[in-house]
Structures are given as structure tokens and as C-alpha cells.
Structure 1
Amino acid sequence: MTKDQLYKELNYVNHSREKRLFYANLVIDNPELIPPLLEILFTVDDKISCRAAWVFEFMCGEKLEAIIPYLDTFTEHMSKVHLDPAVRPVAKVCEYLIKDYYSKTENKIKTHLTQTHKEKIVEACFDWMINDEKIAPKAYAMNSLFLLGNEIDWIHPELAIILKRDYQMQSSGFKARARHILKKIDK
């Protein structure tokens, strides 16, 4: 399947779990589709990029190791994503990566996620926390930053400042997640 054919196929992706999973499995079964999928995802001003992001997130949810050869590309370009429906899945993929990296079970992400990748994820997560994003990317970013802060000492104090500063202006979902993270930071 060419990039153009994949682009046309992405028109059929919608919010349903069934469609996202179908196309995620198509990509898992045909890993040569990952580079064109990422290319479409990082065409950030195109609405189809959001559908590519949904498929990419589901692919990572099913088989996270599939991202390994593309970690450089993903972390290099993820901060350019700005359309709301694409930011959420990109933030979720970051959370998948960080959770796997700090997981107690052995996995391939631990050996392939570099310091540079983690720094780019930290930068993107703080951008999502500071910018006017919806609750989901902020929640994924909070979790990622909390875990990263156990290794990188300056993250927890900065994260706590942002959570406390934004607390009153945010939704009840943000407040619940922020309280949870702040309690963990204070321990």
C-alpha cells in the first residue's frame, strides 16, 4: 500500500473502537506502513493527520514495540502536532512509552528509549501542561512527567507549581488527577 492509498484509507477511520483497531492491526501486520502513517500524522495542518494519530495510538496500545525503529522520528516531530484530536493520541503514546520504560517487567522500550527521547517527551509534556489543551493530553502529560520526575529531579517541583497554579481554572477531571499526582509528589 502506498502513502496515497493509506491516506485514502484513513478517510474511513472514525471514532469507533472497531475502525481504529481494524486499521491499527492493518499497520501492525504491515509494518512498512508505519513510515507513511507517521508522515501523514506529522502533516499537522491536515485534518487526516488526526485519523493517522488515532490509528498510531491504537497500534502502540496493541504492540508498543512496533514504534521502536521510529522513536527518533516520533519524538522529533511530536511537538509540532497541534490539532486537538491529534494531540490527545500523541500524548497517550508518550504515556505508553514512559509507563513501559518505568515498568517493573522487562521490555524492549527500556533498552531503546534514550535520554534524548525522554528529554523530548519532557519538553512536549510540559508544553501540553502549559498550553491551552484539553484535559486528556494534560492528564497523560501529568502521569508521564510524574514518572520521569522520579529520575529527573527538577521535574516534580516544576510540575507541582503548574498543577497548583492551574488548579482553580481547570475542570473537575483535571483537579482530580492533579490532587492524585500532588499527593504522590509530596510522599
Structure 2
Amino acid sequence: MPSELNQKLEYVSGHRENRQKLAHEVIANPFLFSELIQICFIIWNKNAPKACWILEFISYEKLEWLQPNLDFFCLNIRLLKDESAIRPMAKVCQLLVSSHFKNSSIALSEIHLQQITETCFDWLINDTKVASKCYSIRTLYQLGNHFDWVHPELKVILEKDYANHTAAYKAVGREILKKIK
């Protein structure tokens, strides 16, 4: 029998207000957060992408809630295949890495950093949509300040793929290539 949270996810639509409403409900009821994380990675659950949408919204306000779940999160992000799940998780990765390097409440281990790096490169080089690629590019740029091999690899990919992508990808690519050089 589906949980109450899973049932509420059934009624979540792509409308921002709709996603925000359930995110605020989870924030008001923190005991729901660990279940939400679990649902995000139940690949066969049709509500998994919706759970990822909610997790993204929560991450803007309560990113530190992910800290106890980082092992699970970082291990499983590479398993996501649904584009509707990848885009919000790519944003969450960007928020986590940015927060980590700002010495905030997020402490990523070397393994977490490696797992996020590998996943972002996978999203960048595979057939994912442009928003996921753009979040991955920005995340990889930050990770390149930690791992010396990332910037050269990122530069090669951006220069090779630049001409074949959308205006959004090109804009982010230009921005990051200027920073790398």
C-alpha cells in the first residue's frame, strides 16, 4: 500500500506552486524527509521524478537535511535515468558542491566528491537535456578547483561539443571556458 507521501506525490504537477506546496509540507514535517529521499531513487516508482522535484525545492531552504543522507544520495544519483529526475538532482548536486566549498553546513567526503564528479561527467557526455548539462558544467567547474584533472577534461568536452548545442549550453560553456583559461 502506498504511503501517504507517495499518494500526495501522485497529485504533484509541474507547476511551481504545486511543487512548492508539497516541499513546504515536508519542511513542516521533517520526519517525511528520509522517506522522500528513498522515493527519489525507487526507479520503478512513477512518482520518483516528482520526489526529485520536491527534493530540489527543499534543498534551497534546508540543504543541511541532506548531510545524514549523503552516502545514500551520492551512491544512487548515478542510477537515475529519467530526465525529469536528473535535472533536479543535477541542481541539488550543484547546491551541495557549492555549499561544501563555501565551508557551510555541508561536508562532502572525498568519496562523495568523486561520485558527484563521475555522475556529472556522465550527465554531460550522455544524451541528457541541456539544463542537466548546464548544472553539471557548473558543478564540474567547482569540483575542478579540488580535483586538478577535472578542468582539462571539462575544457576538452566543452570545446568539442560547443558547436552542436543550444544557446543555453553555449552561454554556460563560454562562461566556464573563460574561467578555466
TM interval, short-chain normalised: over 0.9
In the alignment, which residue of structure 2 is the partner of 1:77?
A: 76
The alpha-carbon distance between structure 1 residues 3 and 46, as it changes in their structure 2 partners (threshold 3 A), is closer
In the alignment, which residue of structure 2 is the partner of 1:12?
A: 11
Q: Normalising by structure 2, what TM-score?
A: 0.95
State the Cα RMSD in Å.
Answer: 1.4
**In the alignment, is the contact (CA less than 8 A) between 1:13 and 1:19 conserved in 2?**
yes
Deviation at 1:72, TM superposition (A): 0.8
In the alignment, which residue of structure 2 is the partner of 1:172?
A: 167
1:14-163 matches, cutoff 5 A: 14-103=13-102, 106-109=103-106, 112-163=107-158
Q: Normalising by structure 1, what TM-score?
A: 0.92
Identity %: 41
Take 1:89 and 1:154, find their aligned partners in 2: how far apart are those partners?
26
Aligned letter for 1:24? A
**In the alignment, is the contact (CA less than 8 A) between 1:3 and 1:37 conserved in 2?**
no
Unaligned runs of 5+ in 2: none
Question: What SS is found at the alignment partner of 1:63?
Answer: helix
Take 1:141 and 1:95, find their aligned partners in 2: how far apart are those partners?
7
Aligned letter for 1:108? S
Take 1:31 and 1:73, find their aligned partners in 2: how far apart are those partners?
18
Deviations 1:129-165 (A, max 9, x none): 1100111111111011001101110000000011011
Deviation at 1:41, TM superposition (A): 0.9
Take 1:9 and 1:146, find their aligned partners in 2: how far apart are those partners?
37
Take 1:124 and 1:26, find their aligned partners in 2: how far apart are those partners?
30
Deviations 1:72-129 (A, max 9, x none): 11101011111111100000000000111122xx4211xx211111111001000001
Take 1:45 and 1:163, find their aligned partners in 2: how far apart are those partners?
33
- The total of aligned residue pairs comes to 181
Unaligned runs of 5+ in 1: none
Deviation at 1:3, TM superposition (A): 6.0
Take 2:170 and 2:164, find their aligned partners in 1: how far apart are those partners?
9
Take 2:40 and 2:101, find their aligned partners in 1: how far apart are those partners?
26
Deviation at 1:51, TM superposition (A): 0.5
